[in-house]
Structure 1
């Protein structure tokens, strides 16, 4: 058992980050090996725009569950690459609607088979292990538990007088 495994929930965030970074690095390596100029971090925006003709930055941020500024930064990056464009909504001048450009649609057509291959590879990977099969349901359950509880508050309540360090001064 390595250090991370031995520390349990104390390093849950670190383990999930490491797993995510490793996974995304592998996915980016696939795009690179296939000669596709695409970054895995763009996936949520491309996926949503593949299912919707146009979305506002607010809609994108809500659906991918990131802050509005983070979504704006991602959209700006994709705009600078010529993959998306935005225009003022006709019905509401405050809203900017984001759409894929012609280059973005062409890139989407190129990456769709990669997404299918990723899905197939991951399904095969987890299907070979009964515990791994529970990964996505377990993550969903943990996300639900986090959203329905006040973890920070619970931790603070656990810091009773018995657990708090005493000042020996």
Structure 2
């Protein structure tokens, strides 16, 4: 058992971050190995746009769970690479709609088989160990419960109770 494993919940966020970084590094290595100029951090936008003709930056922000400025920054990055473009909504002149450019659609065509292969490979990994197969349902349960659990409030209350009794 390594240090991180032995510290349990004290380093839970750090372990999730390390695992995420390792996973995304592997995914980017796949794209690079196939000669595809794509970054895993673009995935949510590409996926959502692959399912929709266009989306507003607000919709992208809400569906990906990132702040509006973060979504806007990502869209600006993708626009500078000429992978997406924005147009003003005919319904609401304040709303910018994001859609693929021809170059973005061509890139999407290249990455769709990679997404399929990732899904199959990760399913094979999950099938190799029952504990791994539990990770996605457990992560979903944690995300749902963490929203309402109020960890900071509970820790502070615990500290106050312990302080009174000590």
Q: TM-score range by the shorter chain?
A: over 0.9
Pairwise mapping of residues 1-169 of structure 1 onto structure 2 (< 5 A)? 1-160=1-160, 162-163=162-163
Shift of 1:160: 2.2
Richer in helix (by share): 2
Paired with 2:163 and 2:39, the residues of 1 have a C-alpha distance of 45
- TM-score normalised to the size of structure 2? 0.97
Q: Which runs of 5+ in 2 are unaligned?
A: none
Stretches of 4+ moved more than 4 A in 1? none
> Any unmatched runs of 5+ in structure 1?
none
Equivalent position SS for 1:87: strand
Q: Distance in 2 between matches of 1:107 and 1:161?
A: 57
CA distance in 1, matches of 2:21, 2:71: 19
Tell me, in whole angstroms, the C-alpha distance in 1 between the residues paired with 2:112 and 2:89: 28
Larger CA deviation: 151-160 vs 86-95: 151-160
In 1: Cα distance, 2:75 partner to 2:139 partner: 27
After superposition, the CA RMSD in angstroms is 1.2
Q: Is the partner of 2:162 in helix, strand or coil? A: coil
Distance 2:147 2:107 in 1: 35
| Counterpart secondary structure, 1:159 | helix
TM-score, length-scaled by structure 1:
0.95
SS in 2 for 1:53: coil
**Which deviations, in whole Å up to 9, do the C-alpha atoms of 1:112-164 show, x marking residues without a partner?**
00000000000001100011110000000100111122111111111125358
